């Protein structure tokens, strides 16, 4: 029986080898395209390598055999794609396997220490004027700087780091320099005082477009300005919605990242990053990483712990 091989890269979205055992199922495609094939299962540990060579894959001589490949590993979503296997050759992959995390499996994150954060991110935390709009905000009231960063906990810290990275990127006009002081931080967004010139800057920026802000509510003592802008990315859009303090007229913004229309991921379309009715920051991290898989320029800098 003719046989071929497959050399494939297997990583998480950081481009690193996954630590757990990887299982791969080869399922023969139905009909003539799958002729000559045979179901096959392989499992392996990646170690320090990101590539694996799979040999002895049954196929039809000549045109080859089409397989549906299903890859799985603990703590990550299954990944699936079609692959043609031809005889007597190392077949190039039709897709690399890039595992997306299962957010519910994440127990903690390994984040940079406060002193390792970019200077602007540290400044936003140091200038914080934390307030409590809801009971879940109360533990942060009175905190600032390193103490605030430590008290955020994994979900809120992940959200802060996601937004800090996105707002420092050219796809968001590097607008982090206009964020002044943190007011509230939750797992799906943060509120902050911002420079009064930021609305005009975003209105004129080619990286942003006007967006409806009707779903955003003002903080107590603020009123919405009616201005909201969203970055033009296909996925992991930054939205900045403005409000003004009714007494001081100081400008603030509700800043969040959403997954927009979803992204195709090995036959699965991830449309929804909702966890306990809130956008999950761990999945938003995956959307950020997927936007620049090679350069990792949108990596928020933390790792998952399971």
d(CA 143, CA 152): 10
Q: How confident is the model over 78-83, as a mean pLDDT?
A: 97
Q: How confident is the model over 131-155, as a mean pLDDT?
A: 98
d(CA 92, CA 6): 6
Instruction: Domains for the chain: give ranges and CATH numbers.
Output: 3-99 (2.60.40.10), 105-305 (no CATH)
Q: Is the distance from CB of 237 to CB of 231 less than 8 angstroms? A: yes
The pLDDT tens digits of the residues spanning 8-31 come to: 999 999 999 999 999 999 999 999
DSSP string, 94-161: SS-EEEPB-GGG--EEE---GGGS-HHHHHHHHT-----SSGGGGGGTT--HHHHHHHTHHHHHHHHH
11 CB-near residues (< 8 Å, 6+ apart): 17, 18, 50, 96, 97, 98, 99
Mean pLDDT of the chain: 94
Over 50: is that where the pLDDT of 275 sits? no
Tokens linked to 177: 């320099």
d(CA 3, CA 224): 65
List the beta bridge partners of residue 182.
Answer: 192
Which pLDDT value is given to residue 265?
Answer: 67
Over 90: is that where the pLDDT of 138 sits? yes
pLDDT bucket at 200, cuts 50 / 70 / 90 = very high
pLDDT bucket at 198, cuts 50 / 70 / 90 = very high
Q: How confident is the model over 230-253, as a mean pLDDT?
A: 95
Q: Is the distance from CB of 265 to CB of 75 less than 8 angstroms? A: no
Which pLDDT value is given to residue 279?
Answer: 87
Which pLDDT value is given to residue 274?
Answer: 47
Which pLDDT value is given to residue 174?
Answer: 98
Q: Could you tell me the pTM of the whole model?
A: 0.92
Helices (H), 152-239: 153-167, 198-204
Over 60: is that where the pLDDT of 302 sits? yes
Percent of the chain having pLDDT more than 90? 90
Percent of the chain having pLDDT more than 70? 94
Which pLDDT value is given to residue 64?
Answer: 98
Which pLDDT value is given to residue 130?
Answer: 98
């Amino acid at each position: 029986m003719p046989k071929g091989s497959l050399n494939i890269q297997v990583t998480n979205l950081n481009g690193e080898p996954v630590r757990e055992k990887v299982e791969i199922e080869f399922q023969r495609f139905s009909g003539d395209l799958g002729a000559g094939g045979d179901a096959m299962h392989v499992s392996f540990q990646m170690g320090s390598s990101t590539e694996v060579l799979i040999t002895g894959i049954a196929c039809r001589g000549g045109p080859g055999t089409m397989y549906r490949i299903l890859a799985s590993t603990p703590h990550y979503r299954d990944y699936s794609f079609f692959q043609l296997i031809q005889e007597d050759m190392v077949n190039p992959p039709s897709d690399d396997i890039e595992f997306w995390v299962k957010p519910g499996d994440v127990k903690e994150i390994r984040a940079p220490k406060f002193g390792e954060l970019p200077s602007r991110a540290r400044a936003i935390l140091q200038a914080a004027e934390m307030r409590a709009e809801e009971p879940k905000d109360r533990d942060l009231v009175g905190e600032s700087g390193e103490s605030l960063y430590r008290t955020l906990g994994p979900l809120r810290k992940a959200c802060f780091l996601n937004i800090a990275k996105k707002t420092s990127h050219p796809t968001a006009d590097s607008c982090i320099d206009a964020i002044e002081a943190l007011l509230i931080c939750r797992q799906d967004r943060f509120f902050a005082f911002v420079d009064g010139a930021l609305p005009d800057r975003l209105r004129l920026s080619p990286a942003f477009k006007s967006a409806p802000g009707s779903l955003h509510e003002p903080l107590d003592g603020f009123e919405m300005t009616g201005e909201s802008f969203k970055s033009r990315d296909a996925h992991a859009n930054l939205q900045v919605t403005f409000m003004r303090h009714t007494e001081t007229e100081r400008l603030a913004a509700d800043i969040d990242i959403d997954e927009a229309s979803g992204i195709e991921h090995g036959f699965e379309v991830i449309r929804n990053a909702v966890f306990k009715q809130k956008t999950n920051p761990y999945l938003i991290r995956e959307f950020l990483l997927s936007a620049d898989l090679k350069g990792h320029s949108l990596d928020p800098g933390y790792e998952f712990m399971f």
